Copies of this chain bind each other. A is one copy, B any other.
Amino acid sequence: MKFEAVTIKDIAKELGLSTSTVSRAIRDSYEISAETKKLVIECAERLHYRPNPIALSLKEKRSRSIGVVVSEIANSFFSQAINGIESIANNKGYNVMISQSQESLDKETRHINFLASRSIDGLLISVSSETENIDHLMQLHKRGLPIVFFDRIKAEMQTHKVIVNNFKAAYDATVHLISAGYTKIGCLANAEHLSITHERIAGYKQALKDNNIAKDLALVKICEHGGLAFDETENAVNDLLQLQPDAILGLNDKLTTGCLKILQLRSIKIPEEIALVGFTNSELSELLNPSLTIIRQPAFEMGEIATSLLIQQIESKRPIKEFTTRVLQTELVVRTSSKRRVNGH
């Protein structure tokens, strides 16, 4: 059940040439006569010859492919980012190998090692919500694997990073809620050690402070699994509801939609009884019931930029010492779910 490819050797045998001649002819080397070239090319076509990149990788220690690790491809933010990644990568002749950590450090580690050992030329990663320690990345990085972080970054590592202004995004969303008349604003966040989590929580808190609203720490609920475990989200929302907030801010995609679902299940009217605003890139957000006020990230663009930086680093002759952190802006799209509150209710 093995599948045997045509090799350079087959062509050589067929034509009574040496493998090196064939190799050179195929790569259009100046040392080969036009005649031989024609012969070789013709024969290669006839036999459906395809160069074996595995052999190439072995030899050249590079593969013109880059690896991507995200927590979940079903997440619209990540699938859009991946599209951005592919658009640049393909454009520059790189292939993209995608894998998902499912928010598990173990899976993340396994995928990264797999990718690294398949001799990818570089890695794009948004770490899992379990990833506190990044030894698994550090090791590869020290050995020279170019790595670019996007979205969920780790400060410890000296590399290029592409993020959004999470602080401002959460700040603006919170201010929007406040100015729409909401004052007791709950917050659903994922794992605490993630960069995006504390930046977003910080923005939320600052907005409360700037508007003289006493911050109540109980109103911030952490979901370690970032919404992937529905039970956890449900408990968090239920706990939050005990405190009778008049609005909820979802700090990521799955938490926001999960919250919406729970509120619907409990027949809680949005925004009459409680307002809902959240981070999400889902194209369905405006079609939801009610249409959702969201913070949208420039996912596609983030993918593009991260990939450009990565490829630039891969192709640079000298080791790069100066690393940039690109910070993009988010967009607040106001819809029904955070409609201005009429007084009293």
Q: Interface segment, A27-35, A95-103, A162-170?
A: A95-103
Give the total of A residues in contact with B, Cβ under 8 Å: 65
Known A-B contacts A73-B79, A144-B3; A118 and B264 likewise in contact (beta carbons under 8 Å): no
Q: CA separation between A295 and B50, bound complex, in Å?
A: 42
| Oligomeric state, in copies | 2
The reply to whether A290 and B288 contact each other, CB–CB distance below 8 Å, is: no
Q: CA separation between A310 and B51, bound complex, in Å?
A: 25
Known A-B contacts A52-B117, A117-B54, A118-B53; A1 and B261 likewise in contact (beta carbons under 8 Å): no
Tell yes or no: A278 within 8 A of B by CB.
Answer: no
Q: Interface segment, A9-17, A37-45, A57-65?
A: A57-65
The reply to whether B113 and A50 contact each other, CB–CB distance below 8 Å, is: yes
Question: Nearest chain B CB to A268's CB is how many angstroms away?
Answer: 13
Q: Interface segment, A187-195, A279-287, A322-330?
A: A279-287
Q: CA separation between A2 and B319, bound complex, in Å?
A: 9
Tell yes or no: A55 within 8 A of B by CB.
Answer: yes
User: Which residues of chain B have C-beta atoms less than 8 A from A315's C-beta?
Assistant: 1
Question: Nearest chain B CB to A301's CB is how many angstroms away?
Answer: 16
5 smallest A-B Cβ distances: which pairs? A3-B144, A289-B289, A74-B79, A3-B145, A98-B98
Known A-B contacts A143-B4, A261-B287; A118 and B117 likewise in contact (beta carbons under 8 Å): no
Question: Nearest chain B CB to A264's CB is how many angstroms away?
Answer: 6
From B79, B146, B264, give the contact of A1 (CB < 8 A): B146
The reply to whether B289 and A284 contact each other, CB–CB distance below 8 Å, is: no
The reply to whether A114 and B95 contact each other, CB–CB distance below 8 Å, is: yes
Tell yes or no: A82 within 8 A of B by CB.
Answer: yes
User: Which residues of chain B have C-beta atoms less than 8 A from A98's C-beta?
Assistant: 73, 97-99
The reply to whether A2 and B114 contact each other, CB–CB distance below 8 Å, is: no
The reply to whether A3 and B140 contact each other, CB–CB distance below 8 Å, is: yes
User: Which residues of chain B have C-beta atoms less than 8 A from A118's C-beta?
Assistant: 53-54, 118
Question: Nearest chain B CB to A263's CB is how many angstroms away?
Answer: 10
A62's nearest neighbour on chain B, judged by CB, is B2
A82's nearest neighbour on chain B, judged by CB, is B73
Tell yes or no: A178 within 8 A of B by CB.
Answer: no
